[in-house]
Amino acid sequence: MTSSASTSESGQPATESNPPGDIPDNQAFVAFTPPGAAFSVKIPEGWASSTAGATTTFTDKLNQVQVGTAAAASAPTAASVTATDVPAWRGQVPRFALGQVSTVTRQAGPAVLVTYQGDSAPNPVTGKVVRDAFEHYVFFHAGTRVDLTLSGPVNADNVDPWRTVTDSLRWQG
């Protein structure tokens, strides 16, 4: 019998072997609306959450989704995010390495996308540090700026889950 990528020699489905940080393909998502916000976004179901000011962070193992809001007078541009946000991240993210800054289109409209890498905080038990890949999206609508920051280990295959999150943003009103 010839094996394939999806079937083992015994005819049973092959066991999926994911690198650390891969979000399972069967991950469920639930809508999240910050208190008083005029938007919703889907986040992975069952992840732990914490809130500090206008930012809510959802975490599970090595992955994180941050949802932040702020009032803004105008829509951000790739140039304004590069001039204002990137220098702040350089000071906050250990071993920060800028990838690309571009404008992308998602279901909610255009967004500035910044990709970068940085080191995680050391694990409190093992002291181990993980190299993380970040996708930071900046959306704008009717005086509200929404920042979605998605992060997980470099080489984790989280393209589809991150697309689910960023395409789920819905403005209300």
Quick: pLDDT tens for 83-139.
Answer: 999 999 999 999 999 999 999 999 999 999 999 999 998 888 999 999 999 999 999
- Higher-confidence residue of 70 and 23: namely 70
- Spatial neighbors of 8 by CB under 8 A, at least 6 apart, are 14, 15
Specify whether the CB–CB gap between 85 and 114 falls below 8 A: yes
Which among 74, 143, 66, 148 is positioned nearest to 106, based on CA atoms? 148
Which H/E stretch holds residue 55? Answer: strand 55-60
Q: Which residues, listed in sequence order, are joined to residue 64 by a DSSP beta bridge?
A: 59, 151
Residue with tokens 């005086």: 143
Token output for 104:
């992308």
pLDDT of residue 173: 72
Quick: pLDDT tens for 132-154.
Answer: 999 999 999 999 999 999 999 99
Rg (CA), the chain: 18
> Using 50, 70 and 90 to split pLDDT, how confident is the model at 163?
very high
Which H/E stretch holds residue 64? Answer: strand 63-71
Quick: pLDDT tens for 18-68.
Answer: 567 888 888 999 999 999 999 999 999 999 999 999 999 999 989 999 999
